[in-house]
């Protein structure tokens, strides 16, 4: 952390300093950029004190709710936040992401939103089986259920109906695309796709958090354009865009992650794709004239 007596122009918000955040802080140190690390677990802002001590905030909070409200509080105080509250709102809600991707004209799996578990059965009949049910908010493939048939769907949705929160009864359903044993992750910073990797797993979910292996994937013009357009559709400066290949060789956009984890990506592509440095470039570009 900087030892400057005046407030640093940049704050980095995170509750955990994972390998990704350490890389970012090291990149800031190499450039001599003054910054302050803020542990979001101890962060609070008085509403009446309108001016933030930092012009720019890099939001690396891992928890969705804290990331969203950290961005809202800092923006209310006049700071530029990367990623913004708007981007976190869109990326953090799978249905809102799907709407943004559709409005941008991007290819996505067939998707439906049902306002009750009972209505979800009708939606699934229209989409067809196999299908998946996903929580509106979540990551790492948690609580995603594969539904091979209606009988399984009825069982899963019975549990959904028993959940205490009314918000849990809003059901996001999607076709299960017949894909290879892999998906594609593209990291986008600003208006550039930095690279692509395949994530291979032994199951139908290919999240690195579930043990998927990461290996380089050629970044074609098509993949780069899809990923950059997807990130722009949700107004994300920094994003991890997940793509899947269908049985006909087409590529669909699955989701966009605002708090992209890039350690596996970095290991696969090596030092030739310096993600942390590109993130710092983007933050400094958004911070002009502070770092001009």
Mean pLDDT in residue range 23-40: 96
Q: What local confidence, expressed as pLDDT, does residue 2 receive?
A: 45
Instruction: State the chain's mean pLDDT as an integer.
Output: 91
Q: What local confidence, expressed as pLDDT, does residue 3 receive?
A: 41
Whole-prediction pTM: 0.90
Dihedral sign for Cα atoms in the order 28, 34, 38, 44: negative
Q: What is the pLDDT of residues 238-283, one digit of tens each?
A: 999 999 999 888 999 999 999 999 999 999 999 999 999 999 999 9
Q: What local confidence, expressed as pLDDT, does residue 248 receive?
A: 87
Give 284 or 289, the one with higher predicted confidence.
284
SS3 readout for 106-147:
CCCCCEEEECCHHHHHHHHHHHCCCEEEECCCCCCCCCCEEE
Nearest-angstrom CA–CA distance, 247 and 189: 29
Rg (Cα) of the chain, in Å, rounded? 20
Question: Is the pLDDT at 5 greater than 50, yes or no?
Answer: no
Whether a cis peptide bond, with omega within 30° of 0, leads into 289 is yes
Q: Which domains, from first to last, does the chain contain?
A: 10-82 (3.40.50.20), 110-175 (3.30.1490.20), 179-280 (3.30.470.20)
What tokens appear for 146 in the block?
């594969």
Q: What local confidence, expressed as pLDDT, does residue 33 receive?
A: 94
Beta bridge partners of 173: 112, 133
Using CA atoms, how far residue 291 sits from 11, 31, 280, 286, in Å, is: 13, 11, 11, 9
The fraction of the chain above a pLDDT of 70, given in percent, is 90
Q: What local confidence, expressed as pLDDT, does residue 207 receive?
A: 53
The fraction of the chain above a pLDDT of 90, given in percent, is 80
Mean pLDDT in residue range 26-50: 92
What tokens appear for 61 in the block?
């909070």
Beta bridge partners of 188: 193, 239
Question: Is the pLDDT at 291 greater than 80, yes or no?
Answer: no
Give 200 or 176, the one with higher predicted confidence.
176
Nearest-angstrom CA–CA distance, 243 and 254: 5
Mean pLDDT in residue range 110-135: 96
Question: Is the pLDDT at 1 greater than 60, yes or no?
Answer: no
Question: Is the pLDDT at 206 greater than 70, yes or no?
Answer: no
DSSP structure string for 185-228: EEEEETTEEEEEEEEE-SSS---GGGT-EEEEE---HHHHHHHH
Mean pLDDT in residue range 14-19: 95
In sequence order, the 6+-apart residues with CB closer than 8 A to the CB of 50 are: 76, 77, 78
Q: What is the pLDDT of residues 54-92, one digit of tens each?
A: 999 999 999 999 999 999 999 999 999 999 999 999 999
What tokens appear for 37 in the block?
């690390």
């Amino acid at each position: 952390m900087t030892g400057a007596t005046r407030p640093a122009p940049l704050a980095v918000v995170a509750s955990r300093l994972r390998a990704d955040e350490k890389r970012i802080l090291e990149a800031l140190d190499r450039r001599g950029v003054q910054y302050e690390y803020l542990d979001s677990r101890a962060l609070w802002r008085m509403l009446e004190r309108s001016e933030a001590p930092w012009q720019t905030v890099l939001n690396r909070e891992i928890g969705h709710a804290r990331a969203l409200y950290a961005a809202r509080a800092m923006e209310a105080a006049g700071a530029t936040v990367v990623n913004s509250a708007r981007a976190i709102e869109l990326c953090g809600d799978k249905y809102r992401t799907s709407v943004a991707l559709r409005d941008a004209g991007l290819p996505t799996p067939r998707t439906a939103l049902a306002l009750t578990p009972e209505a979800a059965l009708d939606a699934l009949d229209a989409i067809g089986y196999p299908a998946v049910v996903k929580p509106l908010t979540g990551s790492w493939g948690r609580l995603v259920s594969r539904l091979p048939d209606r009988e399984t769907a009825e069982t899963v949705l019975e549990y959904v109906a028993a959940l205490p929160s009314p918000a849990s009864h809003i059901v996001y359903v999607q076709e299960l695309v017949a894909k290879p044993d892999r998906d594609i992750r593209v990291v986008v910073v600003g208006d550039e796709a930095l690279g692509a990797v395949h994530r291979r797993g032994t199951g139908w979910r290919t999240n690195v958090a579930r043990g998927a292996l990461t290996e380089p994937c050629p970044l074609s013009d098509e993949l780069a354009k899809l990923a950059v357009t997807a990130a722009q559709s949700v107004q994300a400066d920094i994003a991890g865009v997940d793509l899947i290949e269908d049985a006909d060789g087409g590529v669909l956009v699955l989701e966009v992650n605002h708090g992209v984890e890039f350690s596996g990506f970095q290991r696969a592509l090596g030092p030739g794709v310096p993600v942390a440095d590109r993130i710092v470039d983007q933050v400094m570009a958004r911070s002009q004239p502070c770092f001009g």
